[in-house]
Structure 1
Amino acid sequence: MNLNVFQVDIDRFVDEIKLLPDVNSEYVSIVVDLISRWETISRSAPYVCETQGEGFASNVSRRGSAANELKERLDWVAFFLACAWREQNMRTNTLASSKVEWLFSYFNDKNLELCDEVRARASYVNYLLPANVASNDIKKSLIELEEKKKSVSDHASKVSTVLSDADQRLTSWLKQVDVYESRLKEYRSNYNFLGLSHAFEGLIRSKKNELRIDVGILTIMAMVMTAIPIAYSIVKSVPDDLSKALLFYAPIVGVEILLVFFFRIVLRNYYSRKTQVVQLELRHGICAFYESYVDFTNKHKSDRSFDRFESLIFSGVVEESGKIPTTFDGLESIIASVANAMKGKS
């Protein structure tokens, strides 16, 4: 309560009570002094101001009262001040001044000089007021506690919502990560087979270049083997006598035998490289089939019909055509497995 609004009424009320006859002058002076200090005490007596402030303002601002009515107004204002200072002492836990103590002793329910109404007010100041102040504080504390509890509950609900949204986003991100992981594995597998295919292509090109070299060497050696006796016959005339003719060709026979020996070596290498090219081309073609082959074998884990096929694909490249596994052995095993699987479904 801001008492500056009632300052004029307070000054007039003070002047009026000072002129009351048959009233204890000390009683009046204490009331006047406590009213002058009300601005300070009003801040520490919120309960009394809230419940009795309007009655205090009404008794102070009322005009034209008779002496007995003015005495009742004085007692009511004194009662209000006693209540306010009682609440102030409760909240600050300080000792009351001598004037306040005098006012408390005046409002004594055992004071026989007081009328019944004032004695009831004295009981309120000494007993009911402290209980009401404590009860009001407890109620306010409970209300604040409920508000804080509700605020905490609201914050917890918001946090739960945020965590739920974050969990959903995290789950969605994990699903995307799984998709990306599967795609990366697929790409890695494809790139691995692509690298293997490129490696086979490089080997095939290398072997074909070696084949071309072998063909060139064989061609040159064949031409040399044919040209040597012809050129030798042209340069030197062949004797008519058989024994002399044998002696005539004896020098080049050794050369021809040596050339034939090397010709056979080169020819054997040619056939060996040709065989290797066939095997490498077979493996190069199978690289495109390998991924589907792995999926099929995983679905038929107990089926061992792919053993010979795997031995064909992953075996080393042999150099002799007679030692090459039969190509159709592996293909026949695949056809048999597919046929059995189709029969089982039907």
Structure 2
Amino acid sequence: MLRLWLTPADLTRIRFADRLHPSGTVLLASQALRQPTVAASLPTLARRVAVSAPAVRPLHHLMPVKGFVPDFMTPWEGLASIEDGLAAIRSTPASRVRAEVSAAYAHTTASAARRLFAAGDPEVLDTLVTAMRSYFHQVLAPDWPALNRTHREVVREAANRYAMAGADGLLAGLHRAIRWREPVLEIDTWQDGEARLGGHGLMLLPSPFAGPRPRVMVLPGWPALVVYPVEPATVPDRRPPVDPLSGLFGRTRAAVLIQTTRPGRHTTSSIARQVGISVSSSSEHLSALREAGLVVSRRDGGAVVHRATALCRDLAHLHES
């Protein structure tokens, strides 16, 4: 059991993540969908995992089938996109990789690849990152908007509970494995110990893939991240029947449009990589969007950088609503 000591300042800094964490969700889903009961409740996702088996096999081999995963695999700065998360993972210092992977492997059978990963081998980390990218695009991406809509619905319900019952009611109603005994939040998780949050507060993230126990990450200078389970049955098993943007522009051009509205610096090649198309195809779609007044482009050094216009952002809301 992990005991989090919350001060009055911590109680004023309770927040929910405004969206699912892409790379973090990959890790959780890769564990959850290997459990027969979860796979049976989400058959479409489970079928995608089976079809994608060769590409995602390194992820399944290198990450434990359940329980604790290294904290560096769910970086705070990786919330905006899968590529942001993977870049943050890839930049982790080797010393931290060695320490956290060794701890995660405490009860895992050794193999050559796992030994290399625990030693901080950069090539093994590259292999893992590539498998995570494949998992996101092949398994989760088709339902990513629906998953985020479900996330927002859960957050709205929690916000209503907070409005009616305050912080005490919110914390007491998160999950049966989380108990609020003021001033301590007791969490039946994969770690044991105690932590004082020092006024940095809590970041709460409900997830259909969290597993039977909540997950907790406590890092100095950051809010404590508490990922707690919601029922997998609340996750739509298929995309909504109508996707307005895809109907208007086609699936690929709609994906390019959505990418330009996301945080970060977007070049022709980075959009191609994130959408999973060629650079020439990315350039063609961006040119069409630019001619329609949906994208503004400028040259920056050796690259062309693209930014969504206000009209483009308004259209993107169709995709999210």
TM-score w.r.t. length of structure 1: 0.20
TM-score w.r.t. length of structure 2: 0.21
The structure richer in strand per residue is 2
